[in-house]
Amino acid sequence: MTHYVVRSVDRAAPETVAALRDAGVATAHEAAGRTGLLGPGIQARQTGVAVAGSAITVSCHPGDNLMIHAAVEVCAPGDVLVVTTTSPSTDGMFGELLATSLVARGVVGTVIDAGVRDLAGLRAMGFPVWSRAVHAQGTVKASPGSVNVPVVAAGQLVNPGDIVIADDDGVIALPAASGPAVAAACAERLANEAGKRARLASGELGVDMYGLRPLLDKLGVVYVDRLPCP
């Protein structure tokens, strides 16, 4: 089997990436037709942080972070490193030293379908990670893998150059070509939500704003002041 480090990645326009980051994972997921969301096994290891960037993908042997080191060389400012393993792993494959190397390349965050360690150090340096586990178990540097090939992270296909958005709600990966359309749909949703937020804040009920009373009636939901006596 041949393993590759692919140097060239087609990246999305910075303004598109920024718009999707600001919209957030939940809004982008809805605007994209509820596609691209990584499974909930990948969790944010900090709070209040949102990033977006072009995916640099890594396929590693479990318990071996050799290819993460190889991937650093092809990273560019604004990228998000997406790390997977060829079989399930929770070993701490990423930590403060690798993060320091990525910061020097301008990488904005890491998504890893395995374990992360040095969490206090990562938080102190402000480098955000999303991972399957937090685990102090170390790794080796011995096995080949590939960089910038299609990978599957938490059940979701991620291609090199995909737009990856990550925040407290999770992680989503979208094809770069769909970015402008999804960003435009996000802007429409956000404007619509602003109007709804104002109506709800004024005291209007969601069942009225969304016209849900006929549906409740159709479904046989009955309003009573008290339950009938048996």
Is residue 97 a known part of a binding site? Answer: yes
Is residue 117 a known part of a binding site? Answer: yes
Going by pLDDT thresholds of 50, 70 and 90, the confidence category of residue 229 is confident
CB 110 within 8 A of CB 81: yes
CA–CA distances in Å: residue 118 to residues 125, 140, 175, 222 = 11, 16, 31, 55
- Whether the predicted model's global pTM rises above the 0.85 cut: yes
Going by pLDDT thresholds of 50, 70 and 90, the confidence category of residue 62 is very high
% helix / strand / coil in the chain, to the nearest 5? Answer: 35, 25, 40
Mean pLDDT of 67-96: 98
> Given the DSSP bridges, would you call strands 170-174 and 80-85 parallel, antiparallel or unpaired?
unpaired
Going by pLDDT thresholds of 50, 70 and 90, the confidence category of residue 115 is very high
> Which tens digit of pLDDT belongs to each residue from 155-182?
999 999 999 999 999 999 999 999 999 9
pLDDT for the residue numbered 210:
96
Is residue 95 a known part of a binding site? Answer: yes
Both tokens of 118, joined, read 């040095």
Distance CA 162, CA 214 (A): 42
Mean pLDDT of 193-221: 97
pLDDT for the residue numbered 123:
97
pLDDT for the residue numbered 129:
98
Distance CA 228, CA 192 (A): 41
